[in-house]
């Protein structure tokens, strides 16, 4: 489970940080029980972000089964996808 408060804390820790693989490693160290992934926001479709920011969106990941999938349910979330927003 990833609470809304945890998601807000994750978003707060991303403020002012460059969005790249290093920040994902930082998040993994800070939250060792949460799976983190990183991609570009335009690579994500079919699900609404649980946290939106002009620089990035955060999506919840459900990893309970052998395949990861997106979820909007905080109760079953096991990970967070950090999706960088690039405005053209």
> Average pLDDT in the 57-66 region?
91
Q: How far is CA 43 from the centre of its chain?
A: 13
* Beta strands in 1-88, from DSSP E residues, in sequence order: 35-40, 51-52, 56-62, 69-71, 79-84
Q: What is the pLDDT of residues 24-60, one digit of tens each?
A: 999 999 999 999 999 999 999 999 999 999 999 999 9
Parallel, antiparallel or unpaired: strands 56-62 and 79-84 = antiparallel
- Residue 41 and residue 85 in contact, taking contact as beta carbons nearer than 8 Å: yes
Per-residue pLDDT, 63: 86
């Amino acid at each position: 489970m990833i609470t809304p408060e945890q998601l807000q804390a994750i978003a707060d820790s991303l403020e002012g940080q460059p969005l790249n693989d290093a920040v994902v490693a930082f998040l993994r160290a800070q939250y060792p029980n949460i799976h983190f992934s990183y991609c570009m926001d335009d690579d994500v479709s079919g699900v609404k972000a649980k946290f939106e920011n002009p620089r990035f969106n955060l999506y919840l990941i459900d990893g309970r089964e052998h395949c990861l999938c997106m979820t909007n349910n905080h109760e079953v979330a096991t990970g967070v996808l950090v999706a960088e927003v690039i405005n053209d």
